Amino acid sequence: MQLLNGNEVAKTLKANIKLEVEQLKIAGKKVPHLAAILVGVDGASMTYVNAKEKDCREVGFDSTILRFDMSITEEELLKEVEKINNDTNIDGLIVQLPLPKHISEKKVTETISYKKDVDGFHPMNVGLMFKGLPCFLPATPFGIIKLLEHYNIETSGKNCVVIGRSDIVGKPMGALMLQKNCTVTVCHSKTKDLNSFTQKADIVIAALGIPEFLKADMIKEGAVVIDVGITRVDDTTSVKGYVLKGDVKFDEVSQKASWITPVPGGVGPMTRIGLMLNTLEAVKMKTILNPMVDRSIVK
């Protein structure tokens, strides 16, 4: 078994992004500026937003975090999004999910200008992605594609099973693997006899959010296993009071897999790279006055 080391790959790609930012500066061009909206004080959301701010600092991007109280109304939040849409100094905007129940995530996501939608959630970007056209790809599937490419994992003609069909991971992941010439099966909670699919898969991408769901007997010998899941599981022996668990039972699946991502240190850092690459692209789009630069992943 070999590790698909997201931390290491992210380090390399970050260094490349930093170089590109320096070149933009030398050319007198604008430095990418990412804005993040954070509503409330959810621990995991705060951790994610702070990590993204740290990434921005490291690669030389400008960043702004707009923090709002849980009591902000939907109307007020939509106005804030519009303000950023019209702010020519900001190139990319993300709204950290989940939002409080009284605010529609759909409305907020769809209010972000698709040209600043570096999370790739806007229906415009989703449609362009499904057509294989230039767009902002959703950060997690984008990061996973970059990870597979970095390790030269063959995808053409391979059977790929994605477990999970969410809008932000499962569905786009399936679409991108199809573009990478895999034969794709997307499974979900209503799938009957899931094992019969996973056991035939050359590549299994687990994105369901159930800790240690994928066991060794569910995969074939030599499969490539990508673990997207991150769940905080209570653990009184840990200083933080919890440990992070993936969707894959790593100790046993790693004995059988040819390649596998760890949790943490696999998909997580690559998701953040996806976001950084999109933000960089947002500036380049402006620089070359092209509404959508070529982001087709098909080689």
**String of contacts with ligand NAP for each residue 123-162, x by CB under 6 A:** -----------------x----------------------
Rounded to a whole number, what is the distance in angstroms from the first to the last CA of the chain?
Answer: 27
Shortest distance, position 197 Cβ to ligand NAP, whole Å? 10
**Catalytic residue chosen out of the listed positions 119, 202, 227, 247:** 119
For residue 114, the one-letter residue type is Y
* For ligand NAP, the closer CB: 257 or 283: 257
Question: Does 47 help bind ligand NAP (rule: CB under 6 A)?
Answer: no
Nearest residue to 264 (alpha-carbon basis) of 85, 77, 6: 6
52 catalytically annotated: yes
Q: Is 229 in the site for ligand NAP (CB under 6 A)?
A: yes
By CB under 6 A, tell whether 267 contacts ligand NAP: yes
163 binding ligand NAP? (CB under 6 A): yes
CA–CA gap between residue 223 and residue 4 (Å, rounded): 13
Q: How far is the CB of 216 from ligand NAP (least distance, A)?
A: 17
Is residue 165 a contact point for ligand NAP (CB under 6 A)?
yes
Residue with tokens 């098909």: 298
Query: One of 55, 96, 245, 256 is an active-site residue; which one?
Result: 96
Residue number with CB closer to ligand NAP (134 or 138)? 138
Report the residue number, 22 or 98, with the smaller CB distance to ligand NAP: 98
Determine, following the binding rule CB under 6 A, whether residue 46 of this chain makes contact with ligand NAP.
no
- One-letter amino acid identity for 3? L
Q: How far is the CB of 228 from ligand NAP (least distance, A)?
A: 4
Strand 242-245, strand 259-260: pairing: unpaired
Q: Which of 52, 115, 146, 180 is catalytic?
A: 52
Q: Which DSSP state fits 222?
A: T
Q: Where are the alpha helices (DSSP H) in the chain?
A: 6-26, 43-59, 74-85, 105-111, 123-130, 139-150, 170-179, 194-198, 250-253, 267-287
In this complex, which beta carbon is closest to ligand NAP, that of residue 128 or of residue 230?
230
Task: Establish if 96 lies at the interface with ligand NAP (CB under 6 A).
Answer: no
Map residue 39 onto helix, strand or coil: strand
Residue 189 is a binding residue for ligand NAP (CB under 6 A): yes
Tell me which stretch binds ligand NAP (CB under 6 A): 99-107, 263-271, 276-284, 289-297.
Answer: 263-271
Nearest-angstrom CA–CA distance, 285 and 294 = 10
Closer by beta carbon to ligand NAP, 168 or else 176? 168
Contact between 261 and 147 under an 8 Å Cβ cutoff? The reply is: yes
Residue from 7, 64, 231, 254 touching ligand NAP (CB under 6 A): that is: 231
Query: Strand order of the sheet with strand 259-260?
Result: 2-3, 259-260, 224-227, 203-206, 159-163, 183-187
Instruction: For residue 267, give the nearest of 10, 2, 1, 11 by alpha carbon.
Output: 10
How many angstroms from the chain centroid is the CA of residue 92?
15
Instruction: List contacts with ligand NAP (CB under 6 A).
Output: 140, 163-166, 168-170, 187-191, 194, 207-210, 228-231, 267-268, 271
Residues carrying an active site annotation = 52, 96, 119
